[in-house]
């Protein structure tokens, strides 16, 4: 069975300075994907619908930026998909389009439908091309630049490698303009708060930054055991190099081992609507590793407002996400457990049947 690779291509990679699509670049990316398909099952998440729409209309008088973006995307998505499809057709590869929203991920039935459709397409050697359904996405729940959409889709499909292709070359240990000793970071073992600050020094040819959203996507992917590469789409053979793990862009090492979760587990750990966070100590972490329930004695902190049967994240004291589960108690009850000196013995906070860990 071939390994799965998900490639996300950002708008800046696909656009020209004159605002039009860069057809040569799209053709080149498709050529590389064709080669990658010899050793991987490939899923493509591509932005660029709004940019493609601008080739037809500008809507300069439209005051609402959201409506403008949605109108442009609805015009451009068909064009973008057609361009990809035509290039893939030259290699006799059939393409399939999927337009998804964050709401689709939160809804368990939609999640199941997306997962089985995409898996079916891959089994039949069809090339899935995914974008956000911009027309139906709300401002608050929009994926925006598709990095999160790519990471979620990747986790849902249990991929082996996530590649985020952008105009970002990398990021430095310090601001290279001020510190001549600043070095390009090549390997990231853990996404720390310091690293998030360093993102401000990310080097983006388009000057747009965007490394923060890449880090968040990489965080989600690596927690699900998926190594992640961020590379520049302007570098020759960027996808082929990424496929060989030889990219010059940063490589994010998986935090947990890749795990084969059930459909419910995969939905719970990636997409369910999380209402809060429960932090646990080392002893509880060890118990969870042994597939035991989470007991009140191991809880050290609680965040958010939730009721019993709500979905909550489980973090260790370093703030690393280790799982998701359905809580037996509200946040206020758990807060009491945390405060009291004599912790109640044997009280189950999350039962093992409703708890999914990432390690």
The residues that touch ligand GLU, with contacts defined as CB under 6 A, are 10-11, 47-50, 73, 131-132, 134, 145-146
Nearest approach in angstroms of CB 141 to ligand GLU is 13
The angle, 0 to 180 degrees and rounded to 10, between the axes of the packed helices 147-156 and 211-223 is: 10
Closer by beta carbon to ligand GLU, 81 or else 88: 81
Nearest approach in angstroms of CB 49 to ligand GLU is 3
104, burial (CB in 10 Å: exposed 0-12, middle 13-18, buried 19+): buried
Buried (b) or exposed (e) across 202-241, using 16+ Cβ within 10 A? Answer: bbbeeeebbbebbbbbbbbbbbbbbbbbbbbbeeeebbeb
Closer by beta carbon to ligand GLU, 44 or else 350: 44
220 CB-near residues (< 8 Å, 6+ apart)? 148, 151, 152, 155, 270
Closer by beta carbon to ligand GLU, 10 or else 250: 10
Closer by beta carbon to ligand GLU, 75 or else 295: 75
Nearest approach in angstroms of CB 9 to ligand GLU is 9
Nearest approach in angstroms of CB 5 to ligand GLU is 20
Nearest approach in angstroms of CB 142 to ligand GLU is 8
Nearest approach in angstroms of CB 225 to ligand GLU is 26
| Beta-strand pair 187-188/251-252 | parallel
Closer by beta carbon to ligand GLU, 10 or else 276: 10
Residue of 4, 256, 8 lying closest to 149 (CA atoms):
8
Closer by beta carbon to ligand GLU, 71 or else 199: 71
Closer by beta carbon to ligand GLU, 48 or else 298: 48
Nearest approach in angstroms of CB 65 to ligand GLU is 12
Q: Characterise 253 by phi-psi region: left (phi > 0), alpha (psi -120 to 50), beta (else).
A: beta
Residue with the closest Cβ to ligand GLU? 47
Nearest approach in angstroms of CB 14 to ligand GLU is 9
Closer by beta carbon to ligand GLU, 153 or else 293: 153
């Amino acid at each position: 069975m071939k390994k799965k690779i998900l490639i996300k291509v950002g708008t800046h990679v696909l656009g020209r300075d004159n605002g039009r699509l860069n057809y040569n670049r799209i053709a080149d990316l498709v050529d590389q994907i064709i080669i990658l398909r010899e050793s991987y099952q490939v899923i493509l998440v591509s932005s660029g619908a709004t940019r493609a729409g601008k080739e037809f209309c500008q809507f300069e008088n439209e005051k609402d930026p959201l409506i403008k973006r949605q109108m442009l995307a609805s015009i451009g998505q068909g064009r973008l998909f057609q361009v990809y499809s035509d290039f893939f057709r030259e290699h006799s590869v059939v393409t399939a389009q999927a337009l998804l929203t964050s709401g689709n991920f939160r809804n368990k039935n939609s999640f199941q439908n997306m997962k089985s459709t995409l898996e079916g397409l891959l089994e039949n050697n069809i090339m899935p091309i995914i974008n956000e359904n911009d027309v139906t996405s709300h401002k608050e729940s929009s994926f925006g630049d598709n990095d999160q959409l790519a990471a979620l889709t990747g986790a849902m499909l249990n991929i082996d490698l996530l590649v985020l292709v952008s105009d970002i070359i990398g990021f430095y240990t310090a601001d290279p303009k001020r510190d001549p000793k600043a070095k390009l970071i090549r390997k990231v073992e853990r996404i720390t708060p310091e690293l998030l600050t360093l993102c401000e020094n990310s080097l983006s040819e388009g000057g747009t930054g965007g490394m923060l959203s890449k880090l968040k996507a990489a965080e989600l992917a690596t927690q699900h055991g998926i190594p992640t590469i961020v590379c520049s789409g302007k570098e020759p053979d960027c996808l082929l190099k990424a496929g060989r793990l030889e990219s010059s862009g940063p490589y994010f090492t998986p935090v947990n081992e890749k795990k084969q979760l059930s459909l419910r587990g995969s939905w719970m750990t990636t997409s369910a609507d999380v209402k809060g966070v429960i932090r646990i100590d080392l002893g509880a972490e060890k118990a969870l590793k042994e597939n035991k329930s989470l007991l009140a004695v191991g809880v050290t902190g609680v965040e958010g407002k939730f009721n019993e049967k709500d979905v909550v994240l489980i973090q260790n004291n370093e703030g690393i996400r280790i799982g998701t589960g359905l809580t037996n108690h509200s946040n206020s009850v758990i807060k009491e457990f945390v405060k009291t000196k004599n912790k109640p013995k044997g009280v189950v906070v999350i039962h093992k049947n409703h708890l999914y860990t990432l390690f």
